[in-house]
Amino acid sequence: MTTRWAPAKKDTLRALATEILHNYSRGRAFVAVDGPSGAGQSAFADDLAAALVEAGHAAFRASVSDFGRPRGEGGAGADGEPAPVDGAVLRRVLVEP
């Protein structure tokens, strides 16, 4: 039987936070987390934000789903599909400040 080595989740998050901060040490950086539905992106994004804070940097975590258009403006359909993102609002709230 072969023993597989796997780093602890916290170690992996710390290493990723260190790499992000190394490459983007000045100003604001945007990090997007993507993946198939139900793959744990929200929990991973929360944990990564915590690792960045632990490294001594501010982190703000937002979800694209917070910027969906209302139903009456082309939002989610009756079949429960996610609402299209309102790019103008996302830019105004997250990027421009």
pTM, two decimals, is 0.72
**How does the average pLDDT of the chain come out, rounded?**
82
CA dist 86 and 60 (Å) reads 19
What backbone torsions phi and psi does residue 78 show, to the nearest 5 degrees? -65, -25
**Alpha-carbon distances of 9 from 13, 44, 47, 57, rounded to whole Å:** 6, 10, 9, 20
Q: pLDDT digits over 7-52, tens only? A: 798 999 999 999 999 998 888 888 988 887 778 888 999 999 999 9
> What's the pLDDT score for residue 12?
93
Cα(70)–Cα(89) distance, rounded to whole angstroms?
A: 12
Question: How many Cα atoms sit within 13 Å of 39 on the Cβ side?
Answer: 7
At residue 40, the pLDDT reads: 86
